Amino acid sequence: MILIKCPYCGERDHSEFSYGGDASIVYPSLDAPQEEWVKAIFFRENIKGIQKETWQHINGCRMWLEVESSTITHEITSVKPCHKNLQKVIDN
Amino acid sequence: MTKFNAWNVFKNGLNGQTGWSRQWRDPEPKSSYDAVIVGGGLHGLATAYYLAKNHNMHNIAVLEKGWIGGGNAGRNTTIVRSNYMMPGNREFYEHTLQLWENLSHDLNYNVMFSQRAHVVLIHSPGALDAYARRYNTMKLTGSDGELWSLEKLKKKIPHLNYDNGRFPILGAIVQPRAGNARHDSAVWGYARAADSLGVDILQNCEVTGITRKNGSIESLQTTRGNIKGKKIGFAVAGHTSVLWQMAELGNLPIESHKLQAFVTEAVKPLLDCVLIFGPGGAAHFYISQSDKGSMVFGGELDWYKSYAQRGNLPTVKENGECAMAIMPCLGKLRLLRHWAGVMDMSMDGSFFMCKTPLDNLYLNAGWNYGGFKASPASGWYFADLIANERPHKVIENHNLERFEKGINLDERGIGPDPKMHG
């Protein structure tokens, strides 16, 4: 079982979470050329090693998380809220 | 290579089985080949076999990083079917089913192909309509399909849970010509048949680097030395992205995910078809019985991206629950083994078989859940692509440019989310 340390709820089994997808995708502006949108939507780096992905604590606080983990060992190296300013709110 | 036939079986029965030759040679790598196929799985070996058989090329190497049968060829659930609907896919998979039907004779190796029927349970009127449409479409290209009423289904498989309030069974949609084959036999059979046509099968030969020159691949660095190829094919589904980036070709419309499979202890004959619970409106689960008697089953991906060939417990639980929901009689069976295979999950759930930005490089990838059954036609069309340097009409849209053209070969109509294309 993978353990994910939710910034709000603490360490929980990953069965409480729902996997989102690749967190490294940067969407282009709405008026960007079509090629950029094709790249963002359909093409992936698909890293063998440490990469970023999103999870939602669906059976907990329901926060969206950015998780850094290894696709070889499943080891998690970092968990933080997807929303940039949320960590500050939690810390306070 | 000693041929398998009644006379040789009889003769070797008398002389203590001493008259058999080894199944394939273990040659030293040559410095260059007319064609080099990276990946000694079913697809790579089938490609080499059809290059030799259909296109008269014999100076071919197949590079395998481990041993033959040790990768996804030994990690699938052995289901063969052709119930695809999208143009291109349905011609392709029907062709693969036809190749399976004669494969044992073609390879002179018993792949134990058993056309025991593929039975998909239907749980809602909407699913019934959708499947009726799919199977009617399949019939246009010569595939077979039948709709079974609840009465007929109860007669054929009496021991399902028909008293399921949450997912009532309304009937089944069936492909009678579909079934199972023996995965090891298929990969060994292709290896042996390719070898007998002069193909060098190089095991423990992992590609560690790729040298490019003038828009083509000059040579491959491997753990057994440098190897050059006039034409090079990648057939390494699961690790396609790794090799693609080694060739400095950037990103692919692929994510690597792991899919688990499970085997119970052996029991007497219990299920004489491939049974699917779910796509017709409930979960996602498939089960069949191996010739040894074990129940072999699997279901959803583990959802998160992974190159690890091992699965996680929530998926074990979910598969157990599906098994119990549909066949409560399995409750006392113990699991003997479970494992995971790494698969290329593509952006629309369909495969890629195409030319690439490099002149002498050809790509065979993105097999999602469908790689095992696809392997004979995969080898057939990939060999055709490599030999004739143009895609056959059947695979003309199975390229990397299809997304920018708006061509999505999305059987489930789910969109660009690889983990959903199970």
pLDDT score of B280 more than 70: no
pLDDT at B283 over 80: no
Contact status of A26 with chain B (Cβ, < 8 Å): no
Q: For B62-83, what is the mean pLDDT?
A: 95
Rounded to the nearest angstrom, the minimum Cα separation between B255 and chain A is 5
| Cβ contact B347–A42 (<8 Å) | yes
| Contact: A41, B403; criterion CB under 8 Å | yes
H or E stretch at B156: helix B150-156
Per-residue pLDDT, averaged over B65-83, amounts to 95
| Residue B197 in this model has a pLDDT that exceeds 80 | yes
Question: Whole-structure pTM over 0.90, yes or no?
Answer: yes
pLDDT for the residue numbered A90 = 87
Q: Lowest-pLDDT range, B135-139, B278-282, B331-335?
A: B278-282
Chain B CB contacts of A3 under 8 Å are none
Distance, in angstroms, between A24 CA and closest chain B CA? 13
Identify which of A1, A35, A45 has the shortest CB distance to residue B313: A1
Q: How far apart are CA B50 and CA A40, in angstroms?
A: 37
Residue with token string 């010569």 = B142
Cα dihedral B384→B226→B249→B74 (10° resolution) = 60
Three-state SS for B121?
A: strand
Of A19, A39, A45, nearest to B303 by CB-CB distance is: A19
Share of chain B above pLDDT 90, in %: 94
pLDDT at residue B281 is higher than 80: no
- Is B87's pLDDT higher than 90? yes
B143-160 average pLDDT score:
97
- What is chain A's mean pLDDT, rounded? 95
Q: What is the pLDDT of residues A3-46, one digit of tens each?
A: 999 999 999 999 999 999 999 999 999 999 999 999 999 999 99
- ipTM of the complex, rounded to two decimals: 0.94
At A87, is the pLDDT very low, low, confident or very high (cuts 50, 70, 90)? confident
Q: Which residue has the tokens 């070709």?
A: B249
Name the residue among A47, A43, A26, A27 with its Cα closest to residue B402. Answer: A43
* Chain A residues touching B319 at Cβ < 8 A: none
Q: Average pLDDT, stretch B105-116?
A: 97
Residue B320 CA neighbour count, 13 Å, CB half? 12
Contact B417 A21 (CB under 8 A): yes
In the predicted structure, residue B165 carries a pLDDT above the cut 80? no
pLDDT in tens, B328-349: 999 999 999 999 999 999 999 9
Residue B66 has what pLDDT? Answer: 97
Nearest Cα residue to B114 out of B173, B185, B193 = B185
**Where is mean pLDDT largest: B2-6, B39-43, B168-172?**
B39-43
DSSP at B410: -
**For the purposes of burial, counting CB atoms within 10 Å of the CB of A62, is it exposed (0-12), middle (13-18) or buried (19 or more)?**
exposed
Residues contacting A59, CB < 8 A, separation 6+: A15, A16, A17
Q: Give B422's pLDDT tier (boundaries 50, 70, 90).
A: confident
Residue B282: what pLDDT? 63
Helix (H) or strand (E) holding B149: strand B146-149
Query: Which whole number is the average pLDDT over B288-306?
Result: 95
Could you write out the DSSP letters of every residue in B319-360? Answer: HHHHHHHH-GGGTTPPEEEEEEEEEEEESSS--EEEE-SSTT
CB contact under 8 A, A48 and B256: yes
Q: How far apart (Å, rounded) are the C-alpha atoms in residues B287 and B268?
A: 15
Is the per-residue pLDDT at B63 higher than 90?
yes
Residue A58 has pLDDT above 90, yes or no: yes
Arithmetic mean of pLDDT over chain B = 95
Which pLDDT score is estimated for B167? 86
